[in-house]
Amino acid sequence: MYYDEFLKLCGYEPEEIERERPRIEKTFEKLELTTEDISRGERRVSQYFDVELKGVRKILGLWIKSLIDLVLAREEGKKLVYYSFPPHPHVTIALATASKDIYAAGPEVILDFVMGMIFDKLNPFLEAAEGDLLPPGLANCSLLQARLGGILKGVIPVPDLFVPSSFLCDQAPKLDELLGQIYDVPVVYVDGVEDEMGENWPTSSDRRIKYCAQDPKDVLAKFEEVTGCKMTEEKIREGHVRYINIAMGYNQVHDLIKGLDFMPISQVDLTQAYMLTRVLNTTTAFADTREILDTLYREVRERIDKGEGILQGAPRVMIILPNLSDPTIIKMMESVGLAVVTHIGLTTEPERAPSKYKDYWERAADINMRRGSRYCSLGYAKQIKQVCKEWNLDGAIISFLFSCRAYAIYPLKAKELVMKELGIPALVLESDIYDTRDYSAEAMRTRVETFAEILKTSKAAKAE
């Protein structure tokens, strides 16, 4: 069929395609993916992803499988639970691993990746949302626009339960509240409070931890009530172990990059692996992710051993958040000679201190709320500086998500900390990692190019 080659490029085995063909076709039809779209997807995958690596191909496939499972979940008799971003990982893994009869996901991320990153056909979803509750021009979250657009277009099913993160983000809980009213779906919140002082980062107050530990328990109770699936401690523990295993699978790949002066793999590929482990907490993705990450690890290791890679001796930079719906931005940064080696998604040393809490949900709250973005703006700026320090970077691209209020506050302070305290250049870049209609690679190129030249000169001067 017209899509077979494309799917093979995305790690599907021929027999898998045969077996899955009815589901694939049904999904592609719902997504209105034409032969032209598939051709474009094939071109983009070949051009922007390192499909020579089996690990990369398999990860691409996992995203597509997640979308198929999501789109068909309702008609295949599953209960659906949608969480929002940023996820409370301990909650989402519990939901995603609870039962094969329940599909848990943050659907917008899957749509963003598959319809944006792969097919470059995300805009109809965004536009559908813009005609409804999330109009354009008001810095509404484009990630949530994908969620709303997906539901309005009938591509993703209306869930049985909404579980929005009510910490960090104000828009997701409000949108889900209203969707709950419109579609008569229960909503249960994972709340948090953001009242920490930056000087204390990353230690949270005891009372904040206790508060943040309560809602996850209420979420699980509601989940049981809505789905009829009993959440035992054993089940929660099992999910957690699986999650840690997957996260470690990614970390081993990422750590390979740390001491190198070249890139054996593009940040575009690293990002899709990262998102897979930290963001794509879906029932599908939990099935066999670790094995795929181990494959990727072996392949990258092999390249390093052979000295194969790109951007030899290039300035090493971090980016706050890599793009989730468009690979061309990171590719542009690499093309102007910047090795984008890491991002803010990884845990820094101060955040790794063992938790003193014994209760599972208190420990989870402690770990989750240490993240700079969930802590306070100064904490976040300090976290960014910490990443630069730990990775001994040459520069920082402080690309902030324009449509996220939480990300609107820290950038200039982060720039100041990085430049004054570490003495390295930093570039603040207004961007949108989920929608590049206003923030395309070409629109950013001039500033990034100039920044790259500064870094190259500075690096050369240091070397002399």
Partner 1 sequence: MKAMEDLSTHLRERALELRKAKEEGKKIVGYVPGGFVPEELVSAGGAIPVGLNRGGDYDAVLKSSEYVSRFLDTFSRSQIGYWALREDLLYQLIDLVVVPCTDRNIGAIADCWEMWTDTKVFKFGVPHNNKTEHAFKYYLEGLQLLKEEIEKLTGKQITQEQLKREVELSNRIRLLLREISEMRKSEQPPISGKDFIRLNHASFHADRAFMIKSLESLSQELKGKEGSKGPRIFLIGSSIAEGDYKVYDLLEPTEADVVIEEFSEGMRPYWQEVETNGDLIQALADGYFRKRTPLPAFFRPATEERIDFFLKLVKEYKVDGIIWYSMMYRDAYDIEGIYFGRRAEKEGIPFLKIMTDYDTAETGALRTRIEAFIESIKGR
Residues that bind partner 1 (CB under 8 A): 132-135, 138-141, 164, 166, 168-171, 173-175, 177-178, 180-181, 187, 189, 191, 193-198, 207-208, 210-211, 214, 218, 376-378, 381, 400, 402-403, 405-413, 430
Cis peptide before 202 (omega within 30 of 0): yes
Residue in 97, 95, 65 with CA at minimum distance from that of residue 81? 95
Q: Using CA atoms, how far apart are residues 86 and 164, in angstroms rounded to an integer? A: 9
Q: Minimum distance between the CB of residue 204 and partner 1, rounded to whole angstroms?
A: 11
Q: Are strands 165-166 and 102-105 parallel, antiparallel or unpaired?
A: unpaired
Q: How far is the CB of 196 from partner 1 (least distance, A)?
A: 7
Task: Name which of 349, 334, 406 is nearest 383 in CA terms.
Answer: 349
Residue 439 beta carbon to partner 1: minimum distance, rounded to whole angstroms: 13
Q: Residue 348 CB, nearest distance to partner 1 (Å)?
A: 19
The count of other CB atoms within 10 Å of the CB of residue 191 is: 17
Beta strand 161-163 with 339-343 is unpaired
Going by C-alpha positions, the residue among 169, 118, 172, 120 that lies closest to residue 145 is: 172
CA-nearest of 75, 93, 69, 74 to 83 is: 93
- The least CB distance from residue 440 to partner 1, in Å, is 18
- Smallest separation (angstroms) from partner 1 to the CB of 207: 5
CB of 429 to partner 1, least distance (A): 11
Q: What is the C-alpha to C-alpha distance for residues 403 and 203, in angstroms, rounded to an integer?
A: 28
Nearer to partner 1 by Cβ, of 4 and 127: the residue is 127
What's the closest the beta carbon of residue 371 comes to partner 1, in angstroms? 15
> 133 or 332: whose CB is closer to partner 1?
133
Strand 339-343 relative to strand 395-401: parallel, antiparallel, unpaired? unpaired
- Which contacts of 454-463 are long-range, i.e. CB under 8 A and separated by 24 or more positions? 454/395, 454/425, 455/315, 455/317, 455/338, 455/394, 455/395, 455/425, 456/314, 456/315, 456/337, 458/315, 458/394, 458/395, 458/424, 458/425, 459/315, 459/394
- Cβ proximity to partner 1: between 31 and 144 the closer is 144
Q: Please identify, using beta-carbon distances, which residue of 215 and 299 lies nearer to partner 1.
A: 215
Q: Which is nearer to partner 1, 160 or 196 (CB)?
A: 196
Name the strand (E) or helix (H) holding 331.
helix 328-335
Strand partners, 426: 396
Q: Which is nearer to partner 1, 209 or 441 (CB)?
A: 209
Instruction: Tell me the closest approach of the beta carbon of residue 179 to partner 1, in angstroms.
Output: 10
- Contact criterion met (CB below 8 Å) for 327 and 49: yes
Q: Which is nearer to partner 1, 134 or 318 (CB)?
A: 134
Shortest gap between Cβ of 87 and partner 1 (angstroms)? 17
For partner 1, which is the closer residue by CB, 253 or 433? 433
Nearer to partner 1 by Cβ, of 167 and 286: the residue is 167
Cβ atoms of 109 and 280 closer than 8 Å: yes
- H helical segments located in 171-284: 171-183, 206-227, 233-257, 267-278
CA atoms of 231 and 206, how far apart (whole Å)? 26
Looking at the Cβ atoms of 408 and 419, the one nearer to partner 1 is: 408
Using the minimum distance from each CB to partner 1, give the nearer residue, 10 or 401.
401
Please, what is the minimum distance in Å from the beta carbon of residue 411 to partner 1? Answer: 7
User: Are 56 and 50 within 8 A, CB to CB?
Assistant: yes
